[in-house]
Amino acid sequence: MTDATTRPEPNDFNRQVIDALRSSGGVLTEGPFAGAPLLVLHTRGRRTGRAYENPMMYLELDGHVYVFASRAGHPEHPDWYLNLVAHPEVTVERGGETYAARAEVLEEDERARVYGLQSDAYPQFAEYQRQTSRAIPVVELVRTD
């Protein structure tokens, strides 16, 4: 059993994923996210205004880009989601490109449709929804530049 001093912090893991994405031009070929569509989402803290970067899976559908505030089925929303609700102006790094975007939370019918497509493609998302009583938000990242 490892103690807290030897376990990597989630931010360390995120930093490793972000560094690997950047060095590979946006596509990972090794590790738990190999081949998965990943982007880096830049948000501002809702209370502090501090800059944050989070790697996450996305779905591109008919020219639209969606991310999912699953937090792996945790009962509470992830901080990055709460931050973008407060500050919807975000920056997206995807496929070696960086651009400004506006985060728009989908309404229920569209949320259910898009989340269903993501769950069909990546069954762990269906499991995340089963693990929580909250409706996992889906956010469209609308390019603004």
We report the CATH number of the domain holding residue 134 as: 2.30.110.10
Residue 5 lies in a domain: no
Give the model's confidence band at 5: pLDDT under 50 very low, under 70 low, under 90 confident, else very high: very low
Specify the number of domains making up the chain: 1
* pTM score of the predicted model: 0.86
Residue 108 lies in a domain: yes
User: Residue 83's domain spans which residues?
Assistant: 10-143
126, pLDDT greater than 70: yes
Which DSSP letter does residue 26 get? S
Residue 1 lies in a domain: no
33, pLDDT greater than 80: no
pLDDT tens, residue by residue, 56-81: 999 999 999 999 999 999 999 999 99
Residue 60 is predicted with a pLDDT of 96
Residue 3 lies in a domain: no
Q: Do residues 84 and 43 make contact, with C-beta atoms less than 8 angstroms apart?
A: yes
